[in-house]
Structure 1
Amino acid sequence: MFERLWNGSARMEEWTEAVSQGALTAVADDIVTVHTTYFCGSVTAIRTTEGLVLIDTAKPDTARRTLEVVRSWDDGPIHTVIFTHGHIDHTSGITVIDAEADARGWPRPRIVAHRNVARRMQRYADTQGFNSHVQGQQFDMPGYVYPIGQRRPDEVYDEALTLEIGGERIELFHGRGETDDATIVWLPERRVLASGDFVIWVFPNAGNPRKVQRYAAEWALALRRIESLKPAVLIPGHGPVVFGEARIAQMVGDGAAALEHLVRETLGLMNRGASLDEVLHAVRLPDAYLAKPYLLAKYDDPEFLVRGIYHLYGGWFDGDAAHLKPARTAELAAEIATLAGGADRLAERARALSESGRMRLAVALIELAGASAPDDRRIQADRAAILQKAIDGEGSLMGKAFLAVSQREAARRSGG
């Protein structure tokens, strides 16, 4: 199946199905990686004379099964847990691990991570309501409550840290990419590297529209660092383990080059005074990158990354005076509807644009029509239909998810 994933003849959903009951990959002598689904971070176990070292711990709904798979391989105490970053699909399993240690009379494992992991966990506590709302919207889970309260790191570092545990040398390096608290785990004597979410078997997730700032340029630097270490085995944050120096070099090199292209082109336009609107419609990633099976724009969208790059270097103002102190959307929509001759005229034009395939304009106009006539069931039905067509034509899961939030709202307001 790996070969089919590598050559593009298999989809990651097929791999997810295959590992859904918990699958164990032998990485090297005394090292295994456990997968339960693509959407949960991988968990790697290293056997040492002082106990097991785990790299990440899985998410709430897969943590118990992940630990069971680890226990099928080694039933000894867990000495240390390394968090590659603070996202819940990599940290939440510590609760299950601690409960097992308590039940068996073992010391709870030491947690090692970058200093910013603890800051992230505090931010999640401070914004639990917001994160619950966003995640519930994005994944259509009404009433979802974002999990907080995971145990925080016992030992933190800033740029680099070397651990010597039970005869195993483990080097940690900090980088910024999807998060500002990311760790690369390198076992130099084994030439085994755990990348965390710097490698995820899809296009780098550096542009999520509803998450805090992400770092495309520094993600590329981290990938170049991985490339320079020349690992023989790469354990991605998501997706199957990659074996072989040449394949790993190709995978991380292509990822770095794609990010470098977006950063270079975006900054080039910004340096010439281009507005965000001009940048978004001018910067394009060559199709050759997006054709790579491990760089499919399936979760994030390169256009979202361009927006994130602009925001990082240029702030939130996009150069359009109307956006500096914007009018309320409902008021603006009502004025435009009046000028157009009514919300019906806006909806009619939106339908025509949709039928001709001009979906960006169609969505813009139907959202104005919907905002100006929120209780008009027919307009809301048109809105739901146009948004559904936009969803069907959207390649990225994020794009589909956020369009779907509005589509569901329109369907509800339409009465059906």
Structure 2
Amino acid sequence: MAQDALFERLWNGSAHMEEWTEAVSEGAVTRVAENIITVHTTYFCGSVTAIRTSDGLVLIDTAKPDTASQTLALVRTWDDNPIHTVIYTHGHIDHTSGIKLIDEEADAKGIPRPRIIAHRNVLGRMERYEASHGYNSLVQGQQFDKPGYVYPIGQRRPDEVYDESLALTIGGEPIELAHGRGETDDATFVWLPRHRVLASGDFVIWVFPNAGNPRKVQRYAPDWAVALRRMEQLKPAVLIPGHGPVVFGEARAAQMLRDGAEALEHLTRETLRLMNQGATLDRILHAVKVPARYLKPYLLPKYDDPEFLVRSLYHLYAGWFDGNPAHLKPASDADLAAEIARLAGGAHNLAERAATLAGQGETRLAAHLAEFAGAAAPGDAHIQALRAGVLQKCIDGETSLMGKAFYAVYQRDAERRSKG
């Protein structure tokens, strides 16, 4: 009953996802349907769904490294039969890393390891993570504000891949897989027609769609909307999001899918409208906004930011050049900063003006000036202290986790420099 009451408050916006994360932090199991459960440990770990069949268990995703043991233990309190098949909804580590423990369990029992099924592009993703391991570790550490983070690689590859759709019957249970592009190009959503249960993977995450991450590869907002519309047409009675609590009832499942699609369609439509008029990226970024009517309690920009999605949309359709000729073959940041500092009468003037603007709430403009000042005088402790203060104002005014985290990376740099 307590979980039901919390869900209602999450749905109407009177509770925040942090409260749900706290509620499930010791591990929680949601009974989805007869012979189907979903395991939760934290919002930041993908949901893991277990399906009981006569051939053994089918798992949809496997948890992240630090919650995999807890997740598997919870599954085992429900059913101790062998795991027959694992479905990766995509290749991110919070959905794939638990396979190591699952394999170790099978080896210890002397039974076959489960087969893994995923979209074909999961293979390419895992190869890319190994090729760019240093960069990916750096970026992931910045995104979650964890200096020194090392991205785990080496998860077992899929044994079986598919392209557009795949229909399975495992132990008498029909399971349908469908591919879509959204946060990733390797995403799968899973439909269990007998129960009218939809496992959406990260197409539904209880916050605004994560389609604009500033330091990740291209995301696909238009395709994300298409996938949500396809899921809506299935008319699920139960929706299992990739992150967050399970949604019961056809009306609410449809509303969540439809609202997400409409928000993405709006951003895509407005971005393309201006692009087709020849607008620069600068103009588009400051013109395209998400109307408040789309920002439902389960679509708040607490992780990604709609402005980041607009930039990603521009790059999806137009490439990297933003329409400013100075950016076609730009001067180095250091040279540009030095010249602007000379024009301003010195880097101190830039820094002081940045601090004034930040105090007036003009954090976007203040950040530009603070970074110019900092680049022009990287060893000046006073300028770096002012820069740190400006970036703190940017953090304070930012709603998205990503925005706060990326600002914090450079705020720490400025603080370090301010102390010599």
In structure 1, what is the equivalent of residue 335 of structure 2?
A: 331
CA distance in structure 1 between the partners assigned to 2:222 and 2:149 by the alignment = 33
CA distance in structure 1 between the partners assigned to 2:151 and 2:122 by the alignment = 17
> Deviation at 1:74?
0.3
In structure 2, what is the equivalent of residue 353 of structure 1?
A: 357
In structure 2, what is the equivalent of residue 248 of structure 1?
A: 253
Q: Which of 324, 332, 341 is residue 320 of structure 1 equivalent to? A: 324
Q: SS state of the match for residue 202, structure 1?
A: coil
Q: Which of 73, 80, 88 is residue 83 of structure 1 equivalent to? A: 88
Residue by residue, what CA displacement relative to the aligned partner does 1:60-105 show, whole Å, maximum 9, x if unpaired?
Answer: 0000000000000001100000000000000000001000000011
In structure 2, what is the equivalent of residue 362 of structure 1?
A: 366
Counterpart residue identity of residue 55, structure 1: I
Of 127-136 and 170-179, the range deviating more from structure 2:
127-136
Q: How does 1:148-167 map to 2 (within 5 A)?
A: 148-167=153-172
Please tell me whether residue 401 in structure 1 is matched to residue 396 in structure 2: no
Q: How does 1:257-406 map to 2 (within 5 A)?
A: 257-290=262-295, 292-406=296-410
> Deviation at 1:263?
0.1
In structure 1, what is the equivalent of residue 66 of structure 2?
A: 61
> Deviation at 1:140?
3.2
Counterpart residue identity of residue 9, structure 1: S
CA distance in structure 2 between the partners assigned to 1:207 and 1:193 by the alignment = 25
Q: SS state of the match for residue 191, structure 2?
A: strand
Counterpart residue identity of residue 346, structure 1: L
Counterpart residue identity of residue 348, structure 1: E
In structure 2, what is the equivalent of residue 114 of structure 1?
A: 119
CA distance in structure 2 between the partners assigned to 1:190 and 1:98 by the alignment = 28
In structure 2, what is the equivalent of residue 221 of structure 1?
A: 226
Q: SS state of the match for residue 287, structure 2?
A: coil
CA distance in structure 2 between the partners assigned to 1:200 and 1:46 by the alignment = 21
Residue by residue, what CA displacement relative to the aligned partner does 1:118-162 show, whole Å, maximum 9, x if unpaired?
Answer: 110000010001001112223333322111100000000000000
Gaps of 5+ in 1: none
In structure 2, what is the equivalent of residue 74 of structure 1?
A: 79
In structure 2, what is the equivalent of residue 233 of structure 1?
A: 238
Counterpart residue identity of residue 385, structure 1: G
Please tell me whether residue 13 in structure 1 is matched to residue 18 in structure 2: yes
Please tell me whether residue 189 in structure 1 is matched to residue 197 in structure 2: no
Q: SS state of the match for residue 331, structure 2?
A: coil
In structure 2, what is the equivalent of residue 144 of structure 1?
A: 149
Counterpart residue identity of residue 402, structure 1: F
CA distance in structure 2 between the partners assigned to 1:141 and 1:226 by the alignment = 35
> Deviation at 1:55?
0.1
Of 107-116 and 137-146, the range deviating more from structure 2:
137-146
Report if aligned partners of 2:355, 2:389 keep a CA contact under 8 Å in 1. Answer: no
In structure 1, what is the equivalent of residue 216 of structure 2?
A: 211
Q: How does 1:36-51 map to 2 (within 5 A)?
A: 36-51=41-56
> Deviation at 1:371?
0.5
Q: SS state of the match for residue 26, structure 1?
A: strand
Residue by residue, what CA displacement relative to the aligned partner does 1:159-194 show, whole Å, maximum 9, x if unpaired?
Answer: 000011001000000000000000010011110000
> Deviation at 1:40?
0.2
CA distance in structure 2 between the partners assigned to 1:211 and 1:133 by the alignment = 11
Runs of 4+ in 1 over 4 A off after TM superposition: none
CA distance in structure 2 between the partners assigned to 1:329 and 1:392 by the alignment = 26
Counterpart residue identity of residue 416, structure 2: R
CA distance in structure 2 between the partners assigned to 1:235 and 1:216 by the alignment = 20
Q: SS state of the match for residue 281, structure 1?
A: helix
Report if aligned partners of 2:224, 2:261 keep a CA contact under 8 Å in 1. Answer: yes
Q: Which of 94, 97, 102 is residue 97 of structure 1 equivalent to? A: 102
CA distance in structure 2 between the partners assigned to 1:251 and 1:162 by the alignment = 25
CA distance in structure 1 between the partners assigned to 2:226 and 2:92 by the alignment = 21
Residue by residue, what CA displacement relative to the aligned partner does 1:303-333 show, whole Å, maximum 9, x if unpaired?
Answer: 0000000000000000111111111101100
CA distance in structure 2 between the partners assigned to 1:137 and 1:6 by the alignment = 30
What TM-score results when the alignment is normalised by the length of structure 1? 0.99
Q: Which of 134, 137, 154 is residue 139 of structure 2 equivalent to? A: 134
In structure 2, what is the equivalent of residue 22 of structure 1?
A: 27
Q: Which of 143, 167, 170 is residue 175 of structure 2 equivalent to? A: 170
Counterpart residue identity of residue 270, structure 1: M
